[in-house]
Amino acid sequence: MSTTTLPVTRETAHHVLWHYGAPGGLQPGRGTETLMVAIDAADLVTVERLRLGFPELVSAMLAAKNDMDGIARLQQIAGAA
């Protein structure tokens, strides 16, 4: 089951790949990096609250973390696969 429901931009794909240490990743700015750490550490209720303000980033992170092909799909979006 896919958790990515929105189109993910190339930039977001690069950032999420970096967060998970996957090839094709590029380090984001400090604010985005901190937000990704918060999303990754949050419980389900908090993740859904964060999704209200950052739907693309949350969807991409959940795909990378939970979908069997999430990293590969992000690499394809980033042009790294």
Query: Token pair for residue 49?
Result: 């609250």
How do the pLDDT tens digits run along the chain, 81 residues long? Answer: 445 455 899 999 999 999 999 999 999 999 999 999 999 999 999 999 999 999 999 999 999 999 999 999 999 999 965
Q: Between the CA of residue 14 and those of 1, 41, 46, 54, 78, what are the distances in Å? A: 22, 20, 24, 16, 6
pTM of the model: 0.89
